[in-house]
Amino acid sequence: MRAVLPFLLLLAVLGTWTAPGLFADGGAVVLHRDAGPFVITVFASPAPLRAGPADLSVMIQRRDSLDPVLDAAVSLTVERNGAGLTLAATRDQAQNKLLYAATVNLTEPGLRKYSVNVHHGAEDSELSGTLSVEPPQPKIDAYWGYFALPPLCIAIFVIHQLLARRQRLTSGV
């Protein structure tokens, strides 16, 4: 068991280390505006936005009391390839349960128009804005930590061998 447990532990740690990178929903505020009876704030993560999966989240507050609205139906429409892609933003998808979040795949860099539609009882509201999407991160940048692992381990091993050798020589003397 002694031989296997550390191995399994290492695998488990490495396995969890590769868990999907979550965007901390919220991120940077890209829009904060009054819209009808609501105050709507739109957050985007990562900041700056890059082509690829992005987290858009929305906070809806009542304009009069600034209390968060938690039972609205929220949809996000993002322009993609000349057409609008509409996604439902839900609280389930958000870490911060006061927000409504949706993950959108921003396929190309550039300026993307988007709109937020809020339905709450008889009240409807819509807000639109523009997202600036930068080119995707090169894979070498995204995975540099994984590529750095072998050289790091090799360096540690080399030092280990040198130290072990020196200690052998010392004890031999």
Which residues contact another protein (rule: CB under 8 A)?
1-7, 9, 12-29, 32, 39, 41, 45-47, 53, 59, 61, 65-68, 70-71, 91, 94-98, 139, 143, 146-147, 149-150, 153-154, 157, 159-160, 163-165, 167
What is the C-alpha to C-alpha distance for residues 64 and 123, in angstroms, rounded to an integer? Answer: 14
Both tokens of residue 131? 């997202």
Q: Which amino acid is at 10?
A: L
Tell me the closest approach of the beta carbon of residue 69 to another protein, in angstroms. 10
Encoded tokens for 94: 């958000």
**Nearest distance from C-beta of residue 94 to another protein, angstroms:** 8
Q: Which of 63, 54, 43 is nearest to 125 (CA)?
A: 63
Could you give the maximum distance between any two Cα atoms of the chain, in Å?
Answer: 89
Please state the closest distance from residue 77 (CB atom) to another protein, in A: 21
- Placement of tokens 């930068």 in the chain: 134
Which residue's CB is nearer to another protein, number 62 or number 124? Answer: 62
Q: Specify the residue, 1 or 122, whose C-beta has the smaller distance to another protein.
A: 1
